[in-house]
Amino acid sequence: IEDTRFARATNAFCLHRGVVSVCLDGQGGQAEPKQAAASSAAAQPVHKYNFENVSKALLAGGLAGGISRTAVAPLERLKILMQVQGNDRVYRNTWQGLLHMARTEGVKGMMKGNGANCLRIVPNSAVKFLTYEHFSREIMDYRAKFDGRGEMTPLMRLAAGAGAGIIAMSATYPLDMVRGRLTVQEGKGGQYKGIWHAASVIMREEGFRALYKGWLPSVIGVVPYVGLNFAVYETLKAMVLEYYGLKDERELSVWSRLACGAAAGTTGQTVAYPFDVARRRLQVSGWSGAAALHATANGSTAVAYTGMMDCFAKTVREEGVSALFKGLVPNYVKVVPSIAIAFVTYERVKEVLGVEFRISD
């Protein structure tokens, strides 16, 4: 038997095996032929991972990531600059920081790092969403074999989301490292001229391993961040569907999806934020381009860290615990439209393209 899928229709459960369907009632007994036929008609269609569906899902995930990040690029850059800076704060708050960037570097400067971010986030989002759906389907199939339900709990959604996030992040981390350097680089005469130039200079001067600086806190932070994003979003959608008596998630309004996505993004970002600060600081650790924002006591070189724990210890000792949440306000401002647009765009594009499987499946 090549394909096994469970779908619920009213109070009957249908086990699809190729073209053969065996329908069981809620008590585990065999349903009547008439009821079985009705159940099969009402059940969700069998979803298959063919080339067309996979390509459409990848396209939807890529568009969702690219569009959402481009929309909030100035806030994203401001957040990173605030995370990296030391006690001598150049960027004091969201409004002042945006004005300072616009005044000193212009609109183009406010978008620094967005090209590398889009180049990274398109495959990252595509792999993350598709991998999550694969993990979810495998978990549901596994559970269905034992209890006949095949439903995912919030904890299972968290595990699937975290696993998908780690795989996607690791696959594209060098681009995130390069994006971090380009974002922090201030002025027009910076060391790096572009994405590929930055990558080649980093490997030549610091070695290939430098492209993975900050990877460990990124992996640890993925668990609460990506995991909670998916878990909270899917759970909230299920609650809204139940509250309004809706049968299909496609009946949800755009505003309902936006609200669920915003709540999910804010929750994940807040819990994982200190790890994000550590990641950004490790990415520019000892790099001369960051000296203007965070230099050593003599002011000649940028602060350097030996690892994640050293970064946490030095940051708290020199700047206080609150430094672990630098840039959180602009992050809140950007996360609402960013995460919400990403989720809504992803699912809407899939509906337009006719993708046969969705996150909630």
Measured distance CA(62)–CA(80) in Å, rounded = 23
Contacts of residue 103, Cβ cutoff 8 Å, sequence gap at least 6: none
**Facing residues of 16 across strands?**
5, 21
Q: What is the pLDDT of residue 299?
A: 65
Which amino acid is present at 267?
A: T
Asked if 228 contacts 155 with a C-beta cutoff of 8 angstroms, the reply is no
- Per-residue pLDDT tens over the stretch 327-356: 999 988 887 677 778 777 887 887 888 776
Distances (CA, A) of 5 to 22, 29, 48, 148: 11, 19, 10, 11
Measured distance CA(321)–CA(303) in Å, rounded = 18
- pTM across the whole model: 0.72
- Per-residue pLDDT tens over the stretch 185-221: 887 777 898 999 999 999 999 999 999 999 999 999 8
Q: What is the pLDDT of residue 22?
A: 34
Higher pLDDT, 222 or 238: 238
pLDDT at 312 over 90: yes
- Per-residue pLDDT tens over the stretch 229-253: 778 888 899 899 988 888 888 888 8
pLDDT at 170 over 70: yes
Measured distance CA(249)–CA(160) in Å, rounded = 20
Average pLDDT, stretch 111-131? 83
pLDDT tier, 181 (very low <50, low <70, confident <90, very high otherwise)? very high
DSSP H helices in 148-253: 154-184, 195-206, 215-244
Measured distance CA(91)–CA(114) in Å, rounded = 19
The DSSP line for 182-199 is HHH--SSS-S--SHHHHH
Asked if 68 contacts 339 with a C-beta cutoff of 8 angstroms, the reply is yes
- What single DSSP character describes residue 288? G
Asked if 17 contacts 4 with a C-beta cutoff of 8 angstroms, the reply is yes
Measured distance CA(334)–CA(75) in Å, rounded = 6
Q: What is the pLDDT of residue 127?
A: 82
pLDDT at 144 over 90: no
Contacts of residue 221, Cβ cutoff 8 Å, sequence gap at least 6: 272, 275, 276, 279
Distances (CA, A) of 87 to 13, 170, 270: 61, 31, 22
Asked if 181 contacts 284 with a C-beta cutoff of 8 angstroms, the reply is yes
Which amino acid is present at 259?
A: A
